[in-house]
Structure 1
Amino acid sequence: MVSQRTAVAAVFVVNGGLYGAWAARVPALATQAHADPAALGLALLGPSIAMIITAPLAARACAAWGARLVIAVALAGACLVLPTLGLADSVLLLGVALAALGALMGTVDVAMNVAAVAAVRELDRPLMPFFHAGFSFGGLLGSLGAGLAAALSVAPARHFCFVAAAGLLALLGTVRSVPGERPGPHRKTEGSYRAVVFRKRLWLLATVALCAAVAEGTCAEWSALFLVRERALTESVAATAYSVFSVTMALTRLFGERVEARFGPHRVLAGSGLVAACGLTVTAAVPLGAVAYAGFAVAGVGLAFCFPVAMALAGDAGRRSDGSGGERELGFVTTVAYAGFLGGPPMIGGVASLTSLTVSIGVVGLLAALITPAALAVRERGTARENATPRELV
Structure 2
Amino acid sequence: MRDRTAVFTVFALNGLALGSWASRTPALTEQVHASPGVFGLALLGASVGMLAAAAVSGRLIERAGARAVVAGSTAMVAVSLVLIGFAPTVPLLAGALLVIGASVGMLDVGMNVAGVAVERRLGKPVMSVFHAGFSFGALAGSLAAGLAAGHGWSPARHLTVAAVVAVLVLAVVIRAVPGIRPGHTEEPVVTPARAPIRRPVLWLLAAVALCSAIAEGASSDWSALLMTVERGVGQGAAALAFAGFQLVMALTRLAGPVAQRRFGPTRCLAAGATLAAAGLVAAAAIPVAAVGYAGFALAGAGLAASFPLALSLAGDAGKRGDGTGGEREIGFVTAVAYTGFLGGPPLIGGIAQATDYNVAFVFVALIAALILPAAVAARRSRRREEAAVMVGR
TM-score normalised by the chain length of structure 2: 0.96
Whether the aligned pair in 1 keeps the contact of 2:45 and 2:95 (CA below 8 Å) is: yes
Q: Deviations 1:35-76 (Å, cap 9, x if unpaired)? A: 111110010000101110110211111011100001111111
| Residue correspondence of structure 1 range 43-82 to structure 2 within 5 A | 43-82=42-81
Whether the aligned pair in 1 keeps the contact of 2:241 and 2:292 (CA below 8 Å) is: no
Could you tell which deviates more after superposition, 9-18 or 191-200?
191-200
Whether the aligned pair in 2 keeps the contact of 1:130 and 1:255 (CA below 8 Å) is: yes
| Residue correspondence of structure 1 range 86-165 to structure 2 within 5 A | 86-165=85-164
Partner of 2:240 in structure 1?
A: 240
**Does residue 332 of structure 1 match 2:332?**
yes
Q: CA deviation at 1:188?
A: 11
CA distance in 2, matches of 1:339, 1:392: 36
Whether the aligned pair in 1 keeps the contact of 2:187 and 2:193 (CA below 8 Å) is: no
CA distance in 2, matches of 1:202, 1:328: 11
Q: Deviations 1:255-295 (Å, cap 9, x if unpaired)? A: 11111111111111111111101100111121111111110
AA aligned opposite 1:150:
A
Q: From the superposition, tell whether residues 189 and 378 of structure 1 become closer, same or farther in structure 2 (CA, over 3 Å).
A: closer
CA distance in 1, matches of 2:26, 2:391: 54
CA distance in 2, matches of 1:249, 1:389: 38
Partner of 1:269 in structure 2?
A: 269
Q: CA deviation at 1:184?
A: 2.2
Q: Detail structure 1 runs of 4+ shifted over 4 Å in the superposition.
A: 187-193, 390-393
AA aligned opposite 1:389:
V
Q: Secondary structure at 1:13's aligned position in 2? A: helix
Q: Deviations 1:210-258 (Å, cap 9, x if unpaired)? A: 1100000101111111111111112221122101100010011111111
Q: From the superposition, tell whether residues 104 and 189 of structure 1 become closer, same or farther in structure 2 (CA, over 3 Å).
A: farther
Whether the aligned pair in 1 keeps the contact of 2:84 and 2:93 (CA below 8 Å) is: yes
CA distance in 2, matches of 1:116, 1:132: 10
Partner of 2:346 in structure 1?
A: 346
Q: From the superposition, tell whether residues 108 and 391 of structure 1 become closer, same or farther in structure 2 (CA, over 3 Å).
A: farther
Whether the aligned pair in 1 keeps the contact of 2:227 and 2:292 (CA below 8 Å) is: yes
Q: Deviations 1:101-137 (Å, cap 9, x if unpaired)? A: 1111110011000000011001112000000000000
**Does residue 205 of structure 1 match 2:205?**
yes
Partner of 2:368 in structure 1?
A: 368
Partner of 1:309 in structure 2?
A: 309
AA aligned opposite 1:90:
T
Whether the aligned pair in 1 keeps the contact of 2:266 and 2:376 (CA below 8 Å) is: yes
AA aligned opposite 2:58:
A
Q: CA deviation at 1:310?
A: 0.6
Partner of 1:215 in structure 2?
A: 215
CA distance in 2, matches of 1:123, 1:168: 28
Q: CA deviation at 1:326?
A: 0.6
Q: CA deviation at 1:355?
A: 1.6
CA distance in 1, matches of 2:295, 2:392: 43
Whether the aligned pair in 2 keeps the contact of 1:64 and 1:188 (CA below 8 Å) is: no
AA aligned opposite 1:366:
L
TM-score normalised by the chain length of structure 1: 0.96
Whether the aligned pair in 2 keeps the contact of 1:269 and 1:372 (CA below 8 Å) is: yes
Give % identity: 51
Which 5+ residue runs of structure 1 have no aligned equivalent? none
Which 5+ residue runs of structure 2 have no aligned equivalent? none
Partner of 2:251 in structure 1?
A: 251
CA distance in 1, matches of 2:17, 2:264: 32
Partner of 1:181 in structure 2?
A: 180
| Residue correspondence of structure 1 range 288-303 to structure 2 within 5 A | 288-303=288-303
AA aligned opposite 2:258:
R
CA distance in 2, matches of 1:173, 1:294: 39
Q: Secondary structure at 2:33's aligned position in 1? A: coil
CA distance in 1, matches of 2:192, 2:88: 44
Q: Secondary structure at 2:388's aligned position in 1? A: coil
CA distance in 2, matches of 1:76, 1:142: 17
